[in-house]
Amino acid sequence: MLALRYVYILALAVWLGGMVILGAVVAPTTFQVLQATEPTTGRLLGGAVFGAVLARFHFVAYGAGALALLALAAMALLGPRPRGFAVRSGIVALMLLVALYSGFVVLTEVDAIQQEVGGLSSSLPAHDPRRVRFDELHQLSTQLMMANIIGALVLLYWEARET
């Protein structure tokens, strides 16, 4: 049972840590360095690099979510059911659905807009519908990741207070 709990907590920690590192370190550093190095194309390169990193990270999120759900289910089947099993499983499942939506719907539409405009949507006029939609999708992506960060923090807190 301890091994399953460890796998569950590790999956949450990897997922949460990845999200925090992406938002707090990778994105700002990527854009800052590339814009300083290449003032004319740095933002375009930064978007391409971070977009690729984010797309790959989504697979980590899918794996972590699936592993967390499997570990919870195994704990429930093999031993005494963890307290709040349904709520914990529901939060993980919701987080996984949010990640899937973000990766397969939001990022797909972002990529389509970027390809249509040659990669630099910020060069479009502020009222251009493609730029407006890109900005909405960027904000939605950020909100979805924040929702998953909050979910992971709640679950890890729940585990930390367990005896």
What single string gives the DSSP state of each residue in 60-121?
Answer: HHHHHHHHHHHHHHHHHHHSSPPTTHHHHHHHHHHHHHHHHHIIIIIHHHHHHHHHHTTT-G
How far lies 28's CA from each of 102, 120, 124, in Å?
A: 20, 17, 22
pLDDT for the residue numbered 163: 67
- Answer yes or no: is pLDDT of 31 > 70: yes
Q: What is the mean pLDDT of residues 106-126?
A: 86
- Answer yes or no: is pLDDT of 139 > 80: yes
Q: State pTM to two decimals.
A: 0.93
- Per residue in 63-110, pLDDT (tens digit) is 999 999 999 999 999 988 888 999 999 999 999 999 999 999 999 999
- Which H or E run includes 47? helix 42-78
pLDDT for the residue numbered 23: 96
| Number of domains into which the chain is organized | 1
- Which H or E run includes 19? helix 2-21
Among candidate residues 49, 53, 88, the one with its CA nearest the CA of residue 69: 88
pLDDT for the residue numbered 4: 96
Please state, in angstroms and rounded to a whole number, the distance separating the CA atoms of residues 66 and 146.
Answer: 19
- Answer yes or no: is pLDDT of 1 > 80: yes
pLDDT for the residue numbered 101: 98
Work out the pLDDT band at 29, boundaries 50, 70, 90.
very high
Please state, in angstroms and rounded to a whole number, the distance separating the CA atoms of residues 93 and 116.
Answer: 34
Among candidate residues 106, 74, 103, 68, the one with its CA nearest the CA of residue 88: 68
Collapsing DSSP states into helix, strand and coil, what is residue 39? coil
Range of the domain at 155: 2-161
Mean pLDDT of the chain: 94
- Answer yes or no: is pLDDT of 138 > 80: yes
